[in-house]
Structures are given as structure tokens and as C-alpha cells.
Structure 1
């Protein structure tokens, strides 16, 4: 069941960077990548206590700022250790200049 929540203005997103949002108490990072795609994953690295919104973004990946684990922004999977557990990804859509996340998925 879809449960779309408005979390930010699209204008708040910058290519190659993440922002932290907290809809319904969730800690989620939203990223806009160079090709204009927007993705959302859990903000906390599955390996250490680092905020992924502060990580370095290249292509479809974000690098954890603490131990350089790489996560795929499209699905939260681990691309490079030391992390071994993926982070949850969230469906995103843009409507009328607003970023919406599906928290029901």
C-alpha cells in the first residue's frame, strides 16, 4: 500500500549531494545525482554510526564518510565494504516541485 509523504522541495536538492529528512521519525537521506535522478535510502550507514547524507556522491553511489563503504543509491545495496548489510531504499517521485517518498513500501 502506498503511503506518499512530502519531505522536501525539489529546489532543496543539489546534484551530487544528499539531504537528511525525517518523515514520521524515519532518518532518510535524499540524493539528486548528475543525470537528475532522485533517490532515497536510510541515512545511517549499516557498518558504522555515520550519516550517509554527508557522504561523497559519484554516479549512482554514495561513499560513507567514516569508512568509505559504498552504497548504490538505486537500491541501497553494498557496492564496496567494509559494510556488508544493505540499507533500505525508498521509492521517490517528484510532483509539482515537491519530493515525495513512499513510506508504505
Structure 2
């Protein structure tokens, strides 16, 4: 499987401990910047009721869904308790030349 690297944004467009929404084709992604300046990406919709995670709260490597407060570890997509029980899909991210890049399967 070949990964295609997609330009998401400039590094400075995501604040520390924050998330942005990124749409590409028919897919929505959530791209995170941790407090220790690392970048991560997951599917952009909560696995519970398909709510956009980019509208949620980020704290300590956790994204909290804005609708029912379901929580996920955005580093590995792990669902952290009810009402969410299905993990999020995660995607590789890298920084190159001050740009955040997301790998999707080609």
C-alpha cells in the first residue's frame, strides 16, 4: 500500500493542545498538535454519532467529542470509555519545511 502525503497547513496554524478539521476528497480528518509540539491525525468524526471532533476539547493527548463527551487518545485512536467504544482510525503525520503533511492510502 502506498501512502500519499497531503499538505494540511502551516505548523503555526495549529496551536499547542489544539485540533483542526481537514477535509480531503470525501473524508474528514482531525489534525492535532500536542503540548510537546508533536503532530497527530485521526478520522475527523466521532465513532459514536459522527460529530466533527475538531469542535471538541483537546487536553493531555485526549480529544473529547463536543456532543456526548466521548474521549479518545488521539495518539493511537483508543476509545477511552462510554459512550464511545470503537477506536478512531489514525494516520501518519510529518512536518516538512514548516508544513504539516498527512499520509493517506493512495
Q: Under a length normalisation based on structure 1, what TM-score does the superposition of the two structures give?
A: 0.93
Stretches of 4+ aligned residues off by more than 6 angstroms? none
Query: What is the number of residues matched between the two proteins?
Result: 105
Hey, which of these two has a bigger chunk of strand by percent?
A: 2
Deviations 1:10-49 (CA, angstroms, capped at 9, x unpaired): 1111012111111233200111111111111111100013
How far is 1:2 from its partner? 2.2
Query: Counterparts of 1:46 and 1:16 in 2: how far apart (Å)?
Result: 21
Partner secondary structure for residue 68 of structure 1 = coil
* Ranges in structure 1 where 5+ consecutive residues have no aligned partner: none
RMSD of the alignment, in Å? 1.3
Partner secondary structure for residue 40 of structure 2 = strand
Match of 1:54 in 2: 55
* Ranges in structure 2 where 5+ consecutive residues have no aligned partner: none
Query: Counterparts of 1:81 and 1:98 in 2: how far apart (Å)?
Result: 35
